[in-house]
Amino acid sequence: MIMKLENLLAKMTLEQKLAQISQCNAVYLHVGASDDVTGPEQELSLKKEEVVAVGSTLNYSGAKEMISIQKEHLHNDPNQIPLLFMMDVIHGYRTVYPIPLALGASFDTALVEECCEMASEEMVLGGVHVTFAPMVDLVRDPRWGRCMETTGEDTYLNCEMARAMVRGFQKSGKAAACVKHFAAYGQAEAGRDYNTTDISERTLRDFYLPAYQAAIDEGAEMVMTSFNILNGIPSSGNKWLVKELLRDEWGFDKIVISDYNAFREMHIHGYCATEKDCAEKAIQATTDIEMMSACYLQQIPTLIAEGKVSEKQIDEAVLRVLRLKEKLGLLDNPYLYADEEQEMSVCLCEKHREIARRAAEKSAVLLKNENVLPFDKNKAKRIAVIGPFADKTMLGQWHCHGREEDGLGVFSAVKRMLPNAEVFFAQGCDEKINATDCEPISEAVELAKKCDDVILCVGEDTYMSGEGMSRAELRLSKAQQTLIREVVKANQNTVVVLFCGRPLVLTDIIDDIPALVLAWQPGTEGGNALANLLFGNVNFSGKLSMTFPRSEGQIPIYYNSYRTGRPFEAPYGSWYQDMPNAPLYPFGYGLSYTSFAISKPEISADTMKIGESLTVSVDVRNTGDRSGETVVQLYICDDYASLVRPVKELKAYQKIGLKPNESKKVSFEITEEMLKFWTANGKFEAEIGSFTVWISDSSNVKDGVKFSLIN
């Protein structure tokens, strides 16, 4: 097979090779066939022949379009090398499941894997070969709009989710996953998308890099570089990052692709004076595919002629692309699984809806409940569903081909679930981020007064979080706050259902809210899932994947911060004069309709030898009167080390289900691997000394036990 690819390579001209490592929007490939549109010429300064010759494409509408583009392409390609089709299938293709930040909150890796497997099944029928997912950028700043695309602030959780996603996407062998954005894109300064990332090597290695590596270890076929600079150098041209770390140290020999136009942006960054410089920096870094710019196509021939780049370097990049095409089977069948009819019948099928519904149920987080929920579905006669999102299917920004009309909003879902109840709707106020007035409020208040139960749907609309959607203030709009206050005054039996793609700051309003449900952007089946949760058909089990701050002034705020020498309050302590250090809701937090008691942990030994392990266990009892699931979380702190360590770090978790009064012993094995960090020696090592261990159902821990690691 290798010979076959090398023979193919030998037949190719330099221009054809460069085309293989260039990627264009699908819309331009149509343009190649049409004389009317001049987009690619203007945007990329490419001639039509050059555009249609590219090796891969992104963004198109499904099997029908894929087949027609592939046909056109093969008609024009002298080497008959099919295009690779890529797409952002981030939280579903047509059946949209909750945003990744919500999936993180499910703490349910098997479910997340199932979601991605389902998306993969849909997308391959739609002709997609590569999904630009998982996005595993660790985030500690909720101002950043792309929080919604990550699984949150914790390294361990992100690693578990990254692996589950890669397994799910690639399980069938019919599709490839592209982990992104390499590296540390989530640390954008001030939470502004695309902004600077400046980060020490040890913080990078301890917290930010492990999830990319986990995805790669799980077999991810591609890596996408990030837009940001990392310590001064844009990722696509960062030789240390891509060549030395990713390829030489981690051994990744598959495709690296740039982000959209990121080659040319190295010029805008002020890192490359010319597009020729962009091409040179990128190829020296071993970034293979250039997405949506044409530096390689236009500049590499000169760089080769000048002896600055060798054709061998280009051949290596092209071979990596050809290898993936071969592995997926494209070289034998250019259309692979694309099938319009099957795409239509599999997308949104009942099985897929059920997975999406379950994911929405398991990722919702109950943040507050003062005897409001669950509503009694047998007693409820009159139910008000109020708010700007009361009857919208909340899909989230990267909903791919998902459509609002594919699902139900909460109002329609509750109405369908309770045909004998009277269910009413009122908009209440405008949905805009800056809405201040609340025109239809009196209608909402009157409705709340005459109903038994009130469901108030507020938060952020689909496009308020996601790429480019940073916010400086994270509060609900004035209009929504007024709506909440007035409606709750009219009827205390109110639950606020919060839709959002990031943690919001709820401090001003939280005391007015009797019950609060975090629904995130729950996807196609979100309405049905919420109806099930609010009326007690299913119990809440989600836990926060990101800290909810009290104020934007606390940001960045995350549970696993480094220890300080002055952890105490007032005066001259690490504190705020005007607010507690603690967030409003910590990482790992979430309530249930039942309660759980966790015993003090017991440890199998006081000492552990390097290379050995020990066991720590608790008894978990369901002390309420309903069945429920909780996430039992293991946190560890390295008490004294060669470099200061975090106050605690999540190292393992188990999601368990218990019936009323049932109890279960939950044990975790503590291994040397769990104790490793990037030490003062510049290596991942576990250092001898004492450690504290806690087991809890949130990152708020108490009653730790200690052990010592010894030689």
Q: In angstroms, what is the minimal distance from the CB of 467 to ligand BGC?
A: 6
Instruction: Report in angstroms how near the CB of residue 150 gets to ligand BGC at its nearest.
Output: 11
In this structure, are residues 660 and 627 in contact, taking their beta carbons and an 8 Å threshold?
yes
Residue 36 Cβ vs ligand BGC, minimum distance, rounded to whole Å = 25
Nearest to 502 by CA among 177, 250, 258, 144: 144
Specify whether the CB–CB gap between 411 and 385 falls below 8 A: yes
Closer to ligand BGC at the Cβ: 238 or 696?
Answer: 238
Contact of 636 with 620, CB cutoff 8 Å: no
DSSP letters along 498-518, please?
EE-SS----HHHHTT-SEEEE
Cβ 536 to ligand BGC, closest distance in Å?
38
- Dmax over CA atoms of the chain, in Å, equals 81
Site string (279-318) toward ligand BGC, x via CB under 6 A: ----------------------------------------
- Contacts of 350 by beta carbon, 8 Å cutoff, 6+ apart: none
Q: Which of 259, 391, 453, 697 is catalytic?
A: 259
Give the pair of three-digit tokens for residue 246.
């990713």
CB 91 to ligand BGC: min, Å: 13
Contacts to ligand BGC from residues 74-103, by CB under 6 A? 88
Q: By C-beta, is 291 or 426 nearer to ligand BGC?
A: 291
* Min CB(193)–ligand BGC separation in Å: 9
Cα separation, 287 vs 279, in Å, equals 10
For ligand BGC, the closer CB: 133 or 506: 133
**Contact, 676 vs 156, CB < 8 A?**
no
* Residue 600 DSSP symbol: P
Residue 43 is a binding residue for ligand BGC (CB under 6 A): no
Cβ burial, residue 640 (10 Å; 0-12/13-18/19+)? exposed
Q: Please, what is the minimum distance in Å from the beta carbon of residue 179 to ligand BGC?
A: 11
Q: How far is the CB of 132 from ligand BGC (least distance, A)?
A: 4
Nearer of residues 144 and 260 to ligand BGC, judged by Cβ: 260
The DSSP symbol for 525 reads T
Q: Binding marks (x or -) toward ligand BGC, 415..454, rule CB under 6 A?
A: ----------------------------------------
Over 159-180, what HEC string results?
A: HHHHHHHHHHHHCCCCCEEEEE
In eight-state DSSP terms, residue 601 is P
Interface pick for ligand BGC out of 260, 337, 375, 535 (rule CB under 6 A): 260
Enter the DSSP assignment of 274. S
Looking at the Cβ atoms of 266 and 709, the one nearer to ligand BGC is 266
Return the residue of 58, 130, 136, 211 that touches ligand BGC, per CB under 6 A.
Answer: 58
Q: State which of residues 259, 265, 649, 687 lies at the interface with ligand BGC (CB under 6 A).
A: 259
Find the shortest distance in angstroms from Cβ 472 to ligand BGC. Answer: 21
Side-chain-facing half-sphere of 663: CA atoms under 13 Å: 10
Q: Are 458 and 497 in contact (CB under 8 A)?
A: yes
* Measured distance between the N- and C-terminal CA atoms of the chain, rounded to whole angstroms: 49
Closest residue to ligand BGC, based on beta-carbon distance: 132
Find tokens 């099997």 and name the residue: 63
Which residue in the block uniquely carries the two structure tokens 């009892």? Answer: 621
CB of 105 to ligand BGC, least distance (A): 21
Which residue carries 């899909």 as its tokens?
395
- Considering the complex, what minimum distance in angstroms separates the CB of residue 88 from ligand BGC? 5
- Token pair belonging to 305: 């002629």
Structural contact between residues 620 and 596, judged by C-beta atoms closer than 8 angstroms: yes
Binder of ligand BGC out of 28, 85, 93, 132 (CB under 6 A): 132
How far, in Å, CA of 483 to CA of 426, rounded? 11
Tell me the C-alpha distance between 533 and 110, whole Å.
21
DSSP output for 353-401:
HHHHHHHHHHH-EEEEESS-PSP-TTT--EEEEESTTTT-----TT-TT
CB of 186 to ligand BGC, least distance (A): 12
467 binds ligand BGC (CB under 6 A): yes
Residue 244 neighbours by CB under 8 Å, 6+ apart: none
The smaller minimum CB distance to ligand BGC, of residues 178 and 278, is found at 178
Q: Which residues of 279-311 are buried (b: 16+ CB within 10 A; e: fewer)?
A: bbbbbbbbbbbbbbbbbbbbbbbebbeeeebee
Total residues found in the chain within this entry: 711
CA gap 562, 428 in Å, rounded: 44
Per the annotation, the verdict on 259 as an active-site residue is: yes
Helix H, strand E, coil C: the string for 354-366 is HHHHHHHHHHCEE
Number of residues that bind ligand BGC (CB under 6 A): 7
d(CA 674, CA 178): 27
E-assigned strand segments in 22-121: 22-25, 56-58, 84-87
Least gap, CB of 469 to ligand BGC (angstroms): 12
Q: How many helices (H) and strands (E) does the chain have?
A: 23, 27
Contacts of ligand BGC in 135-194 (CB under 6 A): 180
12/87 with CB nearer ligand BGC: 87
Q: What are phi and psi of 658, to 5 degrees?
A: -140, 145
Q: Strand (E) positions, 394-481?
A: 422-426, 453-459
Question: Which one, of 297, 289, 295, 220, lies nearest residue 258 by Cα?
Answer: 289
Q: Judged by CB, which is closer to ligand BGC: 58, or 322?
A: 58
By beta-carbon proximity to ligand BGC, the closer residue of 8 and 87 is 87
Active site members: 259
Instruction: Tell me which residues touch ligand BGC (CB under 6 A).
Output: 58, 88, 132, 180, 259-260, 467
